[in-house]
Every structure is written in C-alpha cells, then in structure tokens.
Amino acid sequence: MLYMQFDIMYLFLVLPALLFSLWAQYMVKSSFKKYSQRFTSNNLTGAGAAYEVLRRNGVTGVRIERVPGNLTDHFDPRSNVICLSDSVYAAPTIAAVGVAAHEAGHAIQHAHNYAPMKLRAAIIPVTRYGSMLSMPLVMIGLVFELTGLINIGIMLFGAVVLFQLITLPVEFNASRRAMSSLIESGLLSRDEAPGARKVLSAAALTYVGALIVSIAQFARLFARSRRRRW
C-alpha cells in the first residue's frame, strides 16, 4: 500500500512537474532558434546591446566576455563579468540582443544592490550542500529510523526550494530592466521588441519549471519521511 501511494504521488505530482519543465526547456530553445534568424535593423550585436544597456543605466566597470557554448550566457557577480555565448556575443539578432540585455540587467541589479539578488547569493553555499546531501541524508535516516537526520535532509532540500523561489523575482526583474532599456533607448524597434520579449518570457518559464519540480519533490520527500519508510 505504501509503495502504491508512493507511485501515485510520483505519477500525479512529480511527473507533471517534470513534463512542464521539459516543455519550458523546449520553448526557450525554440524561441531562441526562431529569433536567432531575425536580424536587428541597426546591426546591434549581443555584446553591443549589453554595453549599451549598462551605459544607459550608468553602470561601469563591468567586462563583457565571450564564452563557448550555446545558451551558456550568465553574469558572474564575483568578477563583475557578463559572459555571452558564441550564439549571442557577436550575433546581430533579436534573440542575441534580448539575452545579452537580460544579463546586463543582472549586472545592473548587482550594481544597485538589488535585495533579492543579495539574498540569493547569501544562501548559495547552503543550496550547494542541500542539492548534494538532502536525499542521501533522508534515505539513511529512513533506513536507520533517525528522525534528526531525516529533518536535516528535509531542511537542506528546503533551502534548494527557497533558492529557486528567490530566483524568480531576480530573473523577472532582470528581464524587465532589459526590455525597458531596449525599448526606451530605441535599441530595438517597435517591431523587434516583441521578439526579444518572447525569448525572455520563454527563458523565465524554465525557472518556473525548476521551482515546480523542486516543490513537487519536496512534497514527495516530506510525505515519505512522515511514513518513516522509503
């Protein structure tokens, strides 16, 4: 009976969350591919867009560098560097401009001490341990009936969920800053801006998907721990 309840919980809670996450990943790749084939009318590249967004927001001292890969774009607050992938850095496309402006949005958040970004950075060490140790700790605790170990594992996984929850406003805010700068400065035309917004909206879905999966897994983990059996 317990195994059947476990399967039902996975089937109706975790599996739909995983499917949504996979759909979100497909959407971001599909949107990026579509708008990577549409060039900007002013020949603005991803690197150029990041530079302009930073400049227009009065942010200085941020390097913009090229990194290998596809959709490996990110902002590193430790070194204050915007890293743009091969498909974004020198590409004069709507998709590249949108992605690069988003990363510039993170650099602006860092420069302005955006509170959710600082909070997310503060819990990263706990999150790293939580993602690695939470499941093993709970499983060991269940096998040997160690309630304290089970609770520690659940709390560590809860930190992972909290991290992903805080990530949502950080990502949404970076996209909002990006689109505002691109539109208000005229870096993208009125016809081009919706394409960049679609790329960023699709990317935001991946963070929503990751949060939903983590919440589903946390609920499953918590339910199993209450039964004291795996």
Question: Is the pLDDT assigned to residue 64 strictly greater than 90?
Answer: yes
In angstroms, the CA 6 to CA 24 distance is 26
Torsion of CA 82, 123, 131, 161, to 10 degrees: -100
Q: Look up the domain containing 81 and give its range.
A: 2-227
Q: Which one, of 64, 66, 67, 70, lies nearest residue 87 by Cα?
A: 70
Sheet with 63-67, edge to edge strand ranges? 63-67, 81-85, 74-76
Q: Average model confidence (pLDDT) for the chain? A: 91
Catalytic residue among 103, 145, 171, 192: 103
Question: Is the pLDDT assigned to residue 160 strictly greater than 50?
Answer: yes
In angstroms, the CA 169 to CA 85 distance is 24
pTM: 0.89
In this prediction, residues 87-92 reach a mean pLDDT of: 98
Question: Is the pLDDT assigned to residue 6 strictly greater than 70?
Answer: no
Q: What pLDDT band is residue 207 in, cutting at 50, 70 and 90? A: very high
Task: Check residue 5 and give its pLDDT.
Answer: 47
Q: What pLDDT band is residue 3 in, cutting at 50, 70 and 90? A: very low
Q: How many domains does the chain have?
A: 1
Q: Are 62 and 83 in contact (CB under 8 A)?
A: no
Higher pLDDT: 61 or 137? It is 61
Percentage of the chain beyond pLDDT 70 is 95
Task: Check residue 212 and give its pLDDT.
Answer: 96
In this prediction, residues 180-207 reach a mean pLDDT of: 96
What residues form DSSP beta bridges with 74?
83
Question: Is the pLDDT assigned to residue 105 strictly greater than 50?
Answer: yes
Q: Are 210 and 164 in contact (CB under 8 A)?
A: yes
The region of weakest confidence among 33-42, 87-96, 220-229 is 220-229
Q: What pLDDT band is residue 227 in, cutting at 50, 70 and 90? A: low
Pairing state between β 81-85 and 74-76? antiparallel
Q: What angle do CA 197, 22, 101 make, to 5 degrees?
A: 25
Alpha helices (runs of H) in 73-229, residue ranges in sequence order = 86-89, 94-111, 115-122, 124-143, 147-184, 193-227
What residues form DSSP beta bridges with 64?
82
In this prediction, residues 182-210 reach a mean pLDDT of: 96
Q: What pLDDT band is residue 192 in, cutting at 50, 70 and 90? A: very high
Question: Is the pLDDT assigned to residue 62 strictly greater than 60?
Answer: yes
Active-site residue, 171 included: no
Task: Check residue 197 and give its pLDDT.
Answer: 97
